Chain A
Amino acid sequence: MSESPVVPKQNDAATRPGLIRVALQSPSFMIGIVLTLCFTLAALVSFVWTPFDVTQLVISDKLKTPSGLHWFGTDNFGRDIFSMVMVGARTSIAVALIAVSIGICAGVPLGLLAAARHGSLLDEVIMRTNDLVFAFPALLMAIMITAVFGPGAINAIIAIGIFNIPVFARLARGAALSLWTRDYVLAARVSGKGPARISAEHILPNITNLLIVQGTIQFSLGILAEAGLAYVGLGTQPPLPSWGRMLSDAQTMIYIAPHMAIFPGLAIVFTVLGLNLMGDGMRDIFDPKLRRAR
């Protein structure tokens, strides 16, 4: 009785027509995309060109307010803040990207494994270990790691990455559990396929949407975490610029040179906002139920 020739039933995003058209109709998604592209572009350009060299100290030019020459002004060592924000974008994106990759590469297989062995001791062990890791915020984890290995960008990446693992493991397990009860998974089991093969062929492709959306959100959280770690001095070390450290350097000068804090602060706000809007927009586009409601 579920057949209806009037309204064709469409279940999956991959085969639905007009995905791009829907994306264009969602203004918040478009704002998110544009913001994200701006910062990615700034990060990429910084590899080949910045207005000024970020390692060059020009003490005579220190604490200049924004002008035609120094768009965002200069800091207390006379470095160009616009150039530093560009290079800082590179650091932020690199740290967050690698951390999210660690989370996906370790978390998703763990989640799929737990779902495939649902109810077993292995499932319990994986998920309870996840809970344990989840109980420590990334910042605390980073402090622990730096206490042992010393501060640095690599250790920040590891700390944020470990924090991401339980997020993806839980998401993958939850989504996979509902797919394991589908008839097509039963049919695959009748065809003699084992849990590993079913997870790869039938489960993973059908949860990719969710993972992409969560990946975007985690990416923005990663940028925030990196800024936070750098702010307390546990992340990227000088002379490489980082948004978080620029903020902490600006703290003592906030009354003399507010532009030193404003521009890296705005960079963090807009990047995180852009990524979150993009993630929300993607979730709406991928989810046919939410889309119909609009």
Chain B
Amino acid sequence: MALLEIDKLSLSIRDIPILRDVNLSVEAGQVLGVVGESGSGKSITAMAIMQLLPVGAQWTGSVRLDGRGLEDCSEKDMCGLRGNDIGMVFQEPMTALNPVQTIGEQVAETILVHTGKSRREALQLARQALNRVDLPEEQFPLDRYPHDLSGGQRQRVVIAMAIALRPKLLIADEPTTALDVTTQAQILKLLKGLVEQDGMGLILITHDLAVVAEMADHIAIMKDGEVVEAGETLDLFRRMEHPYTKALFKASSHIPVRNAAHVAERGQSVLEVSKVVRDYPLPRRSLFKAPGHFRAVDHVTLSINRGENVGLVGESGCGKSTLTRAILALDSVQGGEIRLDGSLFSTRGSGPDRDMRRHVQVVFQDPYSSFNPRHRVGRLISEPFFLLDNPPVGEERQRRIDTALENVGLEAADAQKYIHEFSGGQRQRIAIARALIIEPSLIVLDEAVSALDVSIRAQILDLLAELSDRLAISYLFISHDLSVVRAITDRVLVMKSGQIVEEGPTEEVFLNPRHSYTRELLAATPILDEALKAREARAQTG
């Protein structure tokens, strides 16, 4: 009998149906990957298992854990189950821990609540749990606070809390989405190891097909509150009966069609960054000593030609965002110079003039905070007109707004709407329209597709590729997602600790990385095809 069996689970919140006839089952010692895009109901399914549903939620069907039906459990029974039999790991390690409690207390808390153990015993068990998640005592004593730890280490503490009582079932809701690729690989390995050691069932909820292809024994694909396809991992990828599964698979490894031949023809350089230095002052330690500084960008040199798409990859804290802000002249630089279209844009002690800014525009990561909620779309996307000496007025202005909207696949009528009427993907199109409207030579895309679902991401990548080919715009594409960078860029730069460690044509770097850090990054990135091949090889030998 399966450890967890969900049979015909339907759920509605205030009479709005959210889940319909969801059937899932998890065996002990196995990993079930639940995959879906945002709004598919994968997180609410996890909440239904934990019985942590929002007010007004009603459900029918049956959820059986180890043969016990949760529909018969009172809230008090559930409190006994949560943490004891079911553990949970959340997406955001930065907010999942209480900042004013030590990590030891937080792990011990679960133990104290569920067992009659003394504080001393609970702390001992907490120590063991932390050891199991590879936070050894010498470096991570129990009295550390969450702010002493990095994101990956915090996620380990969250996992330690979840597994402290050796639950039968662990639910991990996007456990690695907020983490860097190398950290993601470590956390996934840790989870896999724990499942094997304890014989736990693991439900891994994610949007990333590549991750489940590596990790999961069984996969369930969810869409609009229904499980559209489920089965054993290899079987499911071989069959792919449901059109949505196929679409999701295609979108995950989507490579936009590009006509890269044009790059060589237009040899002029658009952006030239030479030996740029960006320092942040550190707090003054002593009244008599000059305050120190932290060098976030250390003599970086790069150049981008007309129509060329250049990728900049690196982990969080490597200085890529700081470099972006310097290139956009939002911050002043402490050394070196930045040239746009051949003329000086920003150098030590002097910012750009208004005319120069016209050559560069930007698209940000978060489509929800990129727009002033009180302006209409027409006004939002025409904001860069401010840079022109004679901004178009009347009909001409309207015509350019219409063109910009049509260029990104929206309608002219959308100019009259407010931003909240659009979805995340549409908002990102509007952000691109805003960047395009004054026809800059360079657009900086700062994690521009990271917050989007895979199918929307594929559409935006197509749009970007098409615009770059048609309008000869160069992109500086900043991302931590190597597969996206590989899909859209001609050349890639790898950044680490404020320096560019490797640079070259994208395919060459990906196939034949020279620097050890690049190899590390590539090895950590889950790739769908390779994960499936490895799995198939294992299936044949085993």
Contacts and interface: CB of A to CB of B under 8 A. Distances in A.
A14 B354 CA distance: 33
A189 B372 CA distance: 13
Contact of B39 (A6, A10, A14, A202): A6
A14 to B, nearest CB: 6
Interface string B63-97: 00000000000000000000000000000000000
B45 interface: no
A201 B423 CA distance: 24
Given A1-B174, A3-B425, A191-B386, A9 B371 contact: no
A2 B91 CA distance: 12
A5 B362 CA distance: 27
B364 A205 contact: no
Nearest to B440: A190
A184 B369 contact: yes
Contacts of A193: 383, 386
Contacts of B317: none
Contact of A206 (B370, B373, B383): B373
A205 B374 CA distance: 7
B242 to A, nearest CB: 20
Given A1-B453, A191-B357, A191-B383, A14 B364 contact: no
B418 A15 contact: yes
Contacts of B425: 3
A11 B373 contact: yes
A187 B383 CA distance: 9
A186 interface: yes
A12 B38 contact: no
B177 interface: yes
A12 B374 contact: yes
Nearest to A12: B373
A54 to B, nearest CB: 46
Nearest to A4: B39
Interface residues of B, number: 40
B374 A206 contact: yes
Nearest to A208: B374
Interface string B410-435: 00000000101001110000010010
B18 interface: yes
Given A3-B38, A3-B424, A10-B420, A187 B453 contact: no
Nearest to B91: A1
Nearest to B224: A5
A258 B520 CA distance: 86
Contacts of A11: 368, 373, 420
Interface string A86-100: 000000000000000
B420 A182 contact: no
Contacts of B374: 12, 14-15, 205-206
Interface residues of A, number: 29
B423 A3 contact: yes
B357 A9 contact: no
B302 interface: no
A139 to B, nearest CB: 39
B360 interface: yes
Contacts of B451: 1-2
Contacts of B278: none
B330 interface: yes
Interface string B13-55: 0001010000000000000000000110000000000000000
Contact of B424 (A2, A12, A14): A2
A18 interface: no
A9 B364 contact: no
B207 interface: yes
B151 interface: no
A192 B16 CA distance: 46
A244 to B, nearest CB: 41
B462 interface: no
Contacts of B39: 3-6
B231 interface: no
Contact of A15 (B177, B420, B431, B452): B420
Contact of B387 (A5, A14, A183, A191): A191
B328 interface: yes
Contact of B328 (A5, A190, A206): A190
B80 to A, nearest CB: 28
B94 to A, nearest CB: 16
Contacts of A9: 368, 420
Interface in B365-401: 365-366, 368-374, 383-384, 386-387
A1 B364 CA distance: 15
> What 10 A-B pairs are tightest by C-beta distance, nearest first?
A12-B373, A3-B424, A183-B364, A183-B370, A191-B384, A5-B39, A3-B38, A192-B357, A192-B354, A192-B387
9 contacts: A1-B451, A3-B425, A12-B373, A14-B374, A187-B383, A189-B330, A190-B360, A190-B362, A193-B386
Interface of A: 1-6, 8-12, 14-15, 182-184, 186-193, 197, 201-202, 205-206
